Structure formats: structure tokens, C-alpha cells
Structure 1
Amino acid sequence: MYGSRGVGASVARRASAAVLGAALLATGCSGDGDGDGANGGGGTGAGAGITQRPKDVTPFWVNPDGTAARQLAALEKAGKKDEAARIRKIAEQPTGEWISPDNPEEQARGFTEAADKAGRTALLVLYNIPHRDCGQYSQGGAADGDAYRAWIDGVAKGIGDRPATVVLEPDAVLHLVDSCTPDQFHEERYDLLKGAIAKLTALENTKVYLDAGNAGWGKPDQIFEPLKWAGIDRADGFSVNVSNFYTTEDSIAYGKELSAKVGGKHFVVDTSRNGNGPYTEGDPGERWCNPPGRALGETPTVRTADPLVDAYLWVKRPGESDGECKGGPKAGQWWGEYAVKLAQGSD
């Protein structure tokens, strides 16, 4: 999905948001940094010094015991003040909590309870659709439709009536359009997405944004009808640029053009790593993977440049590796050196 359509389907698949954010899904790890997802960050661990952002700037919860917060504590303990100052740029921002396949109810409850206790909204990413990532780097997902419905039920039960914003299934619609997902799975996927949207939007305080690709993938006229078939009319809006590097300006232009085709729906933009835009050098097939010279983008906020944009979010957690390329660890694992460079790029 990354870059232009002319790059080719194989490159597009490699650059899916799945690769960039979800190795923790394969391992069962979650965003609280300890692998179980249940605590949701209690504020009593390594990141106890992390505070919440002003609510009028961003209502989203900052996990005080997340991976970046733990890295920050370790750097401060080691006296590495410059590196710690840069990691603090990440640790003090709300980022998406990717719900792993196991115990979704427990994870969703842990994160939303911690967020609610802090007077904030949990930002959750759901990425478990069957036949995920077309069998590529982040392949997996629920075993079948029934398993996925049960997983969504668990997430919904865990959220309950607490505030939550959900980014639903990065790449799921996109891969129906780019011929990556085999035809025999299309009807079921549309049904599963519609069902997930209906289930989650029925919750009292949950907003749902269905993923809609990115500015570098293709034209909105290729995806707006599939978004409708997937139930965008019942969602609160859609998300763009998840785990990608396209500029906020380009992402807003893409989102506005798409919004006009789906009933004026609002959208959110992932600005986690787009401070310097996309990488355009080296092997086109690996530009998406741990690209050098990138930078943190706009910090999460509801104060955006356009009324159609509900928020800039950090859906992807800056500092997690995209995969074993350019010296990085496995996808989804924390890479402190890269995190420091992202923060340094935004100095």
C-alpha cells in the first residue's frame, strides 16, 4: 500500500500498516510493555513521571508505563540526558494500543479503565481480520469469521461504556481493492467489517474510524465504494496514513477528496512519523522499512488544520521497528536507537 500504484503489488503488500505496527499482535504483546495488556499502565512503574496532556489539546490517554516511558526511565537512570530528552518527546504523547489476539476483553478493559481513571479517552487499534496482510510479513488474524466476531465481542465487552476511539483494521479495505486479498474472502470481509462497526458504534462512548489507506497509494475513486460496502456510513469516519510517512498536508488533501465521496465523513491522520515526509531513496521495495532521516510528525491533537480532520493521532508507536532491515530488530519490537533518531529529526 506504500507509495504509488506503479511500484507494484508486491511492494505495496510489504509496506502495509500491518508490518509497521503489529508484530506485537503476532507475539501476543500489547502496548503496556509487559506483554499482557491487562494493566493498561498503572502510573506506578517506570513511567510514573509521565503526565497527561491538556485535555483541550488532546483527550487521548498517555500510557505512563508504556515502552517509551520505560526507555526514558532507563536512560535517565544511566545519566544519558540528551537521549532521555529525545525519548521523552515520544513517551509524553498518547499512542495507539494495538489489541492482540489473546484476551481482547481483558486488554480493552485494562486500557479503557486506566484512561477513564485519568479522565482521558483510550486510543485502540484493532487489527485481527482473517487473512490479514495477504499472507505477507504480518500475516495472521483470526482463524475465521466466527473467531473474529467473538474477538470483536470481547473488545466491545471490555470497552463497555468507557470512552474509546477505535482505528479499525488497517489495510483491510485497501487490500480488497488492490487485488491482494483473494476474491473468495471479499464478501466475508465486508460482512465482518460492517458487523464490527455496528457492534462498536453501539457502545455509548466509542468512536470508530475505518482505515482508508494513504495519500501515496492511489486515488480515492478506487476505494470509496468499497468503504461504503464495508459500512463507512455507520462509522464516525475513516483513518489515513496509518504507519506511513506521507505529509500531513498530502494526507489531508487525500482525506478531503475521499470524504467528499463518502458523505462528508470526518477523518483522522496518523502523524507519528511523517515529519519529513516519505523516504524516496534506495531500493523502492524497502523504502517503507525503517527509512533513515525520518522525524516525528505533529503531536497528537484535536486542533487540526481542517474542520473535517477530527484529530492528528499517533496510531503507530514511534520507535518500533518496521522489520529486520537496515539494522532493525523484528517488526514491532522497540528500537531505541531509531526512536532517538526520529525524535532528533524533529528537533
Structure 2
Amino acid sequence: MRRTPTWLAALTVGLAALFVAPSAHAAEPVDRGPSLYVPDANPAAYDQALELARAGQFLDAAGVLAMVNTPQAVWFGDQSPAQVEQLIRGVVRDADKEDAIPVLALYDIPGRDCSNYSAGGAADTTEYKEWIDAVARGIGGRDALVTLEPDALALLPSDCGQDDAQGTKTAARYVEVNYAVDKLEPLAGTRVYLDTGHPGWHTVNSIVPRLIKGGVARASGFYTNASNYNTDDANSWYGKLISSCLAYVDGGGDVAECPHQWWPRADAQAWLDAHVKTPPSRMKHFVTDSSRNGQGPWTPPAGKYTDAQDWCNPPNRGLGARPTLRTGDPLQDARLWIKTPGESDGLCLRGTAGPEDPERGTVDPDAGDWFPEQALELVRFASPPILR
């Protein structure tokens, strides 16, 4: 059961009255129908809001509270099967009581993140299957949107030099993703979406074969831009191209012929009009992450870094458009906040010896830890504004 501290409840009400009153000129329409679940925030977010309020920075405090009171994914990984079953059962039960749909980001694949900043996960395929079985028991028959294993398909073991000549670990990765799809998608209220990275990474022609091998035919679809910064327009176009290519290949077409995201749009649309006749209702759908894309991707200073790590705690990014299940796009099931805004991407050294992030002049928190400086940036540079 979720519990909000008494002081926080009072602070939220007071600040909301001052800064978050309803507006007749809101930038986005109010959703009608099912809502998305708002989980408990990182406790450090509440601490930051309290410190800001005590310092008289009421607008910033209200912004942080508005950010964490926006629907976003709940991440699971590294817990034992017994722990994850209990935790997920609690989340889906709370969401059900609120007539809301929770977004579950499952992040326990063996060798995740190429054993880099977010290293961890299950020890092997057998352990991972046991973990997924526990996730399924926790969800039961309740509703859930599952963004399955960020980077699992976009960053295979073979992509980071961690596989053997036979491709043993990469083959195991596909077994693991397929197992999760087959275990979770058949649940009564669950929709499973598979990883595509983001539009600045794999071409459509590169990621579609991975989705097919990962079992997307038996999943609800795929997701893009998790924990990244690409614009809504770029994400929606990438999703449309992937979905169209999947339909084309399913009909016997060659994936190499599909247009990718760097084709001129008019040319790509003309190709789609000529070659893809499948109605949207029969195509694979997608969801996108708008948690930190309000200002779009960061462009590093030219020639400054040997490895700019433009994905890692880039400066002056902002919250993006609010999550919704009503996108107006027949292929896009939802716009979500998959990445927890305000939590660090890890220790960003950008090719230097460190330990400080040279772009910020500070040591960045570990991946998943609260990053107060970045949280304030996300609030202040939010587009549309988080307070209105």
C-alpha cells in the first residue's frame, strides 16, 4: 500500500493551490477513460521538495512534486523471485483500486547493459525464467503494461564483445526474451512491448530482425526511446516505420527494402503507401518514452570529448509531454514516462579520467540514485511546462 508522509500531503496541497491550479488554456486535453498509475516516488524526491520549500523556492518545490505525481513506470530488477512477486502484486493491486493501469519496466535480463553502469540482472537463463514466472504470478489477472527489458534487443551481448564465437550468450538472450513474452502476454490484462532502443541508434532494417527473433509476433508490440531524449515526432515516425516494416516482412517482403528513419519522409511515406496495405488494427503497435525529451537530444560541444556520452545525464534537458493512453495515432498505444525522471543515468565521465562529470563539474550519482541538479533541470526546462 502506498503511503504519503503527512507533511508531504500538506505541502502538496498547499503548493498545488499556489502553482498547479487548473488552467482553461492547458496545452493538452484531459484524458477520458482509463488512467495510468502514479507510483510512490524516490524518497529523495520528497526530501528535495521539502528542502526547496524550506529555502523559499516554492515554485521549484511544486515542480518536483508535480513531476513525481505524474504517472510513470515502476522498475523491477535484481529482486529475488519471492520479492518481485510480492512487490508487483502490491503495485497491480494498488493500481486496480485506483482504476489505473500500471507500467512495469522489467530489467533483470542476464548481462544487462553490457555489464556497464546498470550492470546486474539474473545470473543465467534458468534464474531469469524463474524470475519471470514470479512476475507473472504477481500480475495475475490484473491490468499491466510491460516494457520488457530495456536494451535487451538493441544491445545484445554480441554488440559489446561479450559473446563467444558461437554466439552463445546472444542466442540465450533471444530465448530469455521469448520466454518472457510467452509467459506474460497471455495474462488476461497484460500487454508486452519489446525494446527497440531509440531513433538515433538502430535503423529500422537493423532492429526489425531482432524484434522478430525476440517474439514480437506474439507480443502487443514494441517501445522506443526508453531513457533517451528523442522528440515525440521522431519517436512516432520511427514507430510507424518499424510497425510498417514488420507488416511488410510478415507478408513476405524483404526487410532490406523497408525505408528507415533517415530516408526523406516524403519518399518513405510514398513507399509505405505503395507497399503496406495492412490495416493498423492488424499491425504491431508501439509506446514511446517522453519522460525527458522536452528539449530533445543534447548536442555535445564539437571536439570537446572523446566519448561525449550524449545519453548520460546530459545538461539542460526537460520533462516531455505528459503520459497518455490517448495518442490520436492508431499505431501508438501510449505515450509513457518509462525512465524515472530525476534519477541518474550513472557516472558520466565523457572519455575523461574523472571522477567528475566534466560537463557538470560534479560527480554524478550512481545509476538509479536521485540526482537533485538534474531533477531541477527537468522541471525548469519542461516542455510543456510541468506547472500551469
RMSD after superposition: 2.3
Offset at 1:175? 1.7
Matching residue of 1:56:
32
Match in the other structure for 2:300? 281
Residues 46/261 of structure 1: CA separation in 2 closer, same or farther (3 Å cut)? farther
* Pairing of 1:196-345 with structure 2 (within 5 A): 196-263=180-247, 264-282=283-301, 283=305, 284-324=307-347, 325=357, 326=360, 327=362, 328-345=364-381
8 Å Cα contact 1:271-1:296 kept in structure 2: yes
On the 8 A contact 1:275/1:298 being kept in 2, the answer is yes
Distance 1:240 1:77, change over 3 A: same
Partner of 1:82: 59
What does the per-residue CA deviation read over 1:129-156, in whole Å, with 9 as the maximum and x for residues that have no partner?
A: 1111222222221001110000001111
Checking the alignment, whether the CA contact within 8 Å between 2:158 and 2:170 is kept in structure 1 is: no
Q: Name the CA shift for 1:296/1:169 in 2 (closer, same or farther; >3 Å).
A: same
- C-alpha distance after superposition, 1:182-207 (max 9, x if no partner): 22212211111111011111211111
Shift of 1:219: 0.9
Q: SS of the counterpart of 2:133?
A: helix
Inter-CA distance 95–79: structure 2 relative to 1 (3 Å threshold): same
Cα separation, 1, equivalents of 2:34 and 2:46: 19
Structure 1 residues 218 and 177, CA gap change in structure 2 (3 angstroms): farther
| Alignment correspondent of 1:93 | 70
Q: Is 1:113–2:85 an aligned residue pair?
A: no
Give distance in 1, aligned partners of 2:142 and 2:47: 26
Aligned length: 307
Equivalent pair of 2:34/2:101 in contact (CA under 8 Å) = no
8 Å Cα contact 2:323/2:335 also seen in 1: yes
Q: What is aligned with 2:23? A: none
CA contact (8 A) 2:157 2:169 kept: no
Distance in 1, matches of 2:328 and 2:231, equals 13
CA distances 1:108-165 after superposition (whole Å, capped 9, x unpaired): 1121111111111111100111111222222221001110000001111111111111
Native 8 Å contact 2:39 2:74 kept in 1: no
Query: What TM-score does the superposition give when structure 2 sets the normalisation length?
Result: 0.74
Q: Which amino acid aligns with 2:3?
A: G
Gaps of 5+ in 1: 1-38
Q: Could you tell me the percent identity over the aligned residues?
A: 41
- Partner SS for 2:288: strand
Distance in 2, matches of 1:321 and 1:218, equals 24
CA shift digits 1:272-307 (9 cap, x unpaired): 000111111233432222111211111101222522
**TM-superposed deviation, 1:45:** 5.9
Structure 2: gaps of 5 or more residues: 14-28, 248-282, 348-356
SS of the aligned residue for 2:155 comes to helix
TM-score (norm 1): 0.82
Cα distance per residue 1:197-241 (max 9 Å; x no partner):
111112111111111111000211011112111100111110000
Which one has a bigger Cα radius of gyration? 2
CA contact (8 A) 1:130 1:145 kept: yes
The structure whose RCO (Cα within 8 Å, separation 6+) is larger is: 1
1:191 aligns with 2:175: yes
Distance 2:41 2:300 in 1: 36
Separation in structure 1 between the aligned mates of residue 367 and residue 207 of structure 2, nearest angstrom: 27
1:134 maps to which of 100, 114, 124 = 114
* Deviation per residue, 1:30-65 (Å, 9 max, x gap): xxxxxxxxx4x23466654779x9662762111255
CA contact (8 A) 2:291 2:336 kept: yes
Whether the 8 Å CA contact 1:129–1:172 is kept in 2: the answer is yes
**Aligned residue identity for 2:193:** Y
The one-letter amino acid paired with 1:227 is: L
